[in-house]
Amino acid sequence: MDFSLFHLPTYRAGFARSLNAFYEELTESVKLADRLGWARVLTSEHHFYYYGGAATNPAVILTAWARETRNIRLAAGVSLVALRHPLQVAEDYALLDQLSNGRCDLGVSRGFVPHEYAAFHVDPAETSDRVVEALQIVEKFWEGKPFEFRGPFTQFDRLEPWPQPVQERIPIWVAASNSPASFERIGKGAYGLLMNQYPMSFETLCERHNVFKQAYADAGHGQAKRRSSVAFMTYIADTEEQAIEEARLALQEHVTALRNAQKGNPWDTNYQGDISILLELCKSSDYREVFRERTLICTPQQAAERIAKYAAEGFDEVMILCRFGNLTHAQTMRTIQRLSEEVRPALAKMHGTEAASAARRSAAC
């Protein structure tokens, strides 16, 4: 199971000494993940609101991180291609691939924020089709041969793609959460799948992941190449009680900001809301349920046990979102360190035990 660092750069006064200092702290965490051998670092795209709004173009911040790292892959998680000209997206990530010596991944999404659609004059009803068209253009661009394009949203005459990427094919990932048709398209297209656990139940996530897996298989793609990743809000502490207590307000603020973005209400400055925002995600009246069933806000052993469930469902990467709300840089760095030093070994031990048990069962047959 790959471990990757996912930054959704959300900054307001009090989260660091300054916005510039916040960027420097994010960079330090990326350098740590690189040294620890993590697979990827991902960052998102948002506009005109503090929720994720410190990264308006993932390609820019990823290029900065490319110059600070050696091995970790650099991924948009995601680029809102429906809001951008596809040729600019293709150029940006081809350039990132050059400057990182072939360490670029592109993740895309249709987006979900009403005020972003409005500001860029994009009809939300068109965004799924815009993503499909954008991917056609981006992939054609990266082939490196002159081409022209005539589509519903984008038209241009014959041009020569420049620059060309280092990789023969930059990996493309697509984020999905709700529509079964989206999961079918991603599987059929042999793209990597990006999912997020906390907005949905484990059962719902697995159902949608199964749609992707079935579509991938039905399209005849080699199963060994199938990639799917799931994101978790993460904070590691010595006890579950400590983890929940120290990360509760941070998660509460993150969920509140997400809901305000979804509702097109970026002017609400009641940042941390109240506990009801977490209870909406629970079946019971115990707010701790959301922490236990939808996050890695827990002990190292609990984190390993939870991650193992997703490995069993066919996920091969966990995306760790550990800088959110009022959690500090020091707390973020400590969580990353503990994930490597305690969670990964525990997970490997569990996997080894399972493999040994399987071998014994096989030998007995």
| pTM across the whole model | 0.94
Strands 147-150 and 155-159 come out as antiparallel
User: In the prediction, which pLDDT does 216 show?
Assistant: 98
Spell out the long-range contacts of 361-364 with Cβ–Cβ below 8 A and sequence spacing 24 or more: none
> Per the structure block, which two tokens stand in for 145?
């041969």
Q: What are phi and psi of 55, to 5 degrees?
A: -130, 90
The pLDDT tens digits for 184-194 are: 999 999 999 99
Candidates 3.30.360.10, 3.20.20.30, 3.40.50.1860, 3.40.1450.10; CATH matching 2-364: 3.20.20.30
Q: Do 23 and 54 form a contact (C-beta atoms < 8 A)?
A: yes
CA 195-200-202 angle, to 5 degrees, is: 85
Query: Is 322 strand, coil or helix?
Result: coil
- DSSP label at residue 79: B
List the alpha helices (DSSP H) in the chain: 19-35, 58-66, 86-99, 114-119, 127-142, 180-188, 202-218, 240-262, 276-279, 288-294, 300-312, 329-338, 344-364
The pLDDT tens digits for 234-277 are: 999 999 999 999 999 999 999 999 999 999 888 988 888 899 99
Quick one: 182 exposed, middle or buried, by C-beta within 10 A (0-12, 13-18, 19+)? Answer: buried
The pLDDT tens digits for 312-327 are: 999 999 999 999 999 9
Other Cβ atoms less than 10 A from the Cβ of 358: the count is: 10
CA–CA distance, 144 with 161 (Å, rounded to integer): 6
Question: Which amino acid makes up residue 270?
Answer: N
CA–CA distance, 9 with 141 (Å, rounded to integer): 29
Q: Do 351 and 310 form a contact (C-beta atoms < 8 A)?
A: no
User: In the prediction, which pLDDT does 362 show?
Assistant: 35
Q: Do 166 and 102 form a contact (C-beta atoms < 8 A)?
A: yes
User: In the prediction, which pLDDT does 360 show?
Assistant: 40
User: In the prediction, which pLDDT does 363 show?
Assistant: 43
CA–CA distance, 215 with 298 (Å, rounded to integer): 34
The tens-digit pLDDT sequence of the chain (365 residues) is 999 999 999 999 999 999 999 999 999 999 999 999 999 999 999 999 999 999 999 999 999 999 999 999 999 999 999 999 999 999 999 999 999 999 999 999 999 999 999 999 999 999 999 999 999 999 999 999 999 999 999 999 999 999 999 999 999 999 999 889 999 999 999 999 999 999 999 999 999 999 999 999 999 999 899 999 999 999 999 999 999 999 999 999 999 999 999 998 889 888 888 999 999 999 999 999 999 999 999 999 999 999 999 999 999 999 999 999 999 999 999 999 999 999 999 999 987 765 444 334 334 43
Of 185, 78, 204, nearest to 129 by C-alpha is 185
User: In the prediction, which pLDDT does 353 show?
Assistant: 61
